[in-house]
Chain A
Amino acid sequence: MFTKKMIAIAASAGLALSMAACSQDAGTPAADGGGAGDKITIGIKYDQPGLGLKEGDTYTGLDVEVAKYVAKELGYEEGDIEWKESPSAQRETLIETDQVDLIFATYSITDSRKERVSFAGPYFIAGQGLLVRADDNSITGQDTLGGKKLCSVTGSTPAQKIADQYPDVELQEFGTYSECLPALLNGTIDAITTDDTILAGYAAQEQYAGKLKLAGEPFTTENYGVGLKKGDTELCEKVNAAITKMVDEGAWQSAIDETLGAADYVAGPGNPPTPAACS
């Protein structure tokens, strides 16, 4: 009886170990070897129209376009890219545990994040913007927000900025921006606020054509960087070179026009950015 139990326990432990091994295999980075034939795992958002959106087997958006270009410069064809969903709260962990090689996911470069990962880029400079109904001219920028109702995502940087610096603004927070949209469209919310790129992505969606617009100039600076393993300056420099080439070739501008252009989106001041030195 006792031995039977021990065998069962050993078997289940072995099973658990082999499963752990499997998941590690799947996450082995291809970055160290590089070159054609290998795979590269790239983390993107799956739910951000205009930036990183998964629909069936197709991936669209600015982050995806930049990622494809950079991957090509690193020697990976489009078929060698394995996409992986990277929700905001998991990005550092995904990099630290080698589950992804690079992350292009509206990933703002900040000092606290730099303590855990390294950044290449920036490849785009976004800023906090305001999305309003197309027929609403009462909001023209950050100075006209008094008494208005704004919507954003729980705990996000733009939501915190509104709560801290605009005490006379009423802020509704939801789990995702998608939940803000119906309230904005029926007039019970006056504006959605977050990075202007994300807002342009929503405004560019077919079902909102002509109904929404971006109001005013962006009033913060968010440097979108490429997240990678901390201290990997070699990879970082390769990515930076690819970004610089993409801007010089014009592929950068056409990627923006393709993904966010439908909303008449014009990249804000500071664009195209010059990648910062790797460290």
Chain B
Amino acid sequence: MLDILSRYDILGAFWMTIQLALWSAIGALVLGTILAVMRVSPVAVLQKLGALYVNVTRNTPLTLILVFCVLGAFYILQWRLAPASAPLSTHTFLWAIFGLSAYHAAFVCEALRSGVNTVPVGQAEAARAIGLTFTQSLSQVILPQAFRGAIAPLGSVLIALIKNTTVAAIIGVKEAAAIMRVIIENETGSLIVFFIFALGFVILTLPVGVGFTELSRRLAVKR
């Protein structure tokens, strides 16, 4: 049964999983930071918009978001993230990254907001007292400390994201879960197949967990 490993490109599939996770993590971090800034900003409209986005996105199943991205946005509305001449796999890959980023941005935003809450109010007051504007105090004083306080929850979001990439199989991205479906179809499902893929994900996520715990310990702001 272990000859499965040689007959199917499992490593290639996990490489696709890593690529999906990496790009989506970057996308989610950027979008999530913007959302967090909106939610802690003094402008009521931005606060409400940020809250609306977070509440809608994180309460929508990821499956639905990804199917909407590819079936709704790409096929029905024909919105493209790449030139029309690009192969189909490029389109679905980009939409998968878009969907995963959009979904996890809501969780990144909330993780960052919890980080902001670790920064004592005195820091913000002091920043304003020495004449920094809102933007300056946010980017120079609050956010750097907030990121350091939010590292542990951000690690959890990243681990969840890595595992959630498997949902992209249902829109045709050739990552680990898609290859697993091929193997189950051809070889019948068995515990060994399950363990191979479970092990693959443990290998991916365990170092992330250890690394982020170590980072959060080292970078924590000593008060």
Contact = CB atoms under 8 A, between A and B. Distances in A.
B71 interface: yes
Given A154-B178, A172-B92, A89 B87 contact: no
Interface stretch (B44-52, B104-112, B165-173): B165-173
Interface in B110-161: none
Contacts of A112: 186-188
B189 A154 contact: no
Interface string B169-185: 11110000011111011
Given A186-B75, A189-B75, A173 B185 contact: no
Contact of B185 (A88, A149, A179): A88
7 contacts: A89-B189, A90-B189, A112-B187, A171-B88, A172-B92, A175-B169, A179-B71
A209 B61 CA distance: 32
B78 interface: yes
Interface of A: 88-90, 92-93, 112-113, 115-116, 149, 154-157, 160, 170-175, 179, 182-183, 186, 188-189
B210 interface: no
Interface of B: 63, 67, 70-71, 75-76, 78, 87-88, 92, 169-172, 178-182, 184-189
B85 to A, nearest CB: 11
A89 B71 CA distance: 24
Contacts of B172: 154, 171-174
A188 B186 contact: no
Contacts of B184: 89, 155
B170 A155 contact: no
Given A172-B88, A175-B170, A182 B75 contact: yes
Nearest to B78: A188
A188 B78 CA distance: 8
Nearest 8 pairs between A and B by C-beta?
A155-B181, A175-B170, A173-B172, A183-B75, A155-B182, A170-B88, A188-B75, A92-B188
Given A154-B170, A174-B171, A182-B76, 9 more contacts: A88-B185, A154-B172, A154-B178, A157-B185, A160-B186, A171-B88, A175-B169, A183-B76, A189-B75
Interface of A is mostly: mixed
B88 A149 contact: yes
The CB with the most chain A CB atoms within 10 A, among B63, B75, B179, B189, is that of B75
Contact of A182 (B71, B170, B179, B185): B71
B137 to A, nearest CB: 47
Contacts of B178: 154-155, 173
Contact of A116 (B67, B71, B169, B188): B188
Contacts of A157: 185-186
Contacts of A183: 71, 75-76
Contacts of A173: 171-172, 178
Nearest to B168: A154
A117 B187 CA distance: 12
Contacts of B170: 154, 174-175
Nearest to A176: B170
A157 B186 CA distance: 8
B188 A113 contact: yes
The CB with the most chain A CB atoms within 10 A, among B70, B178, B188, is that of B188
A269 B70 CA distance: 37
A105 to B, nearest CB: 14
Contacts of A89: 181, 184-185, 189
Contacts of A116: 188
A242 to B, nearest CB: 26
B209 to A, nearest CB: 29
A87 B179 CA distance: 18
Contacts of B67: 174-175, 179
A186 B87 contact: no
Contacts of A154: 169-170, 172, 178, 181
A189 B185 CA distance: 24
A182 B78 CA distance: 13
Contacts of B187: 112
B158 to A, nearest CB: 25
Contacts of B87: 170
Nearest to B185: A155
Contacts of B179: 155
B71 A186 contact: no
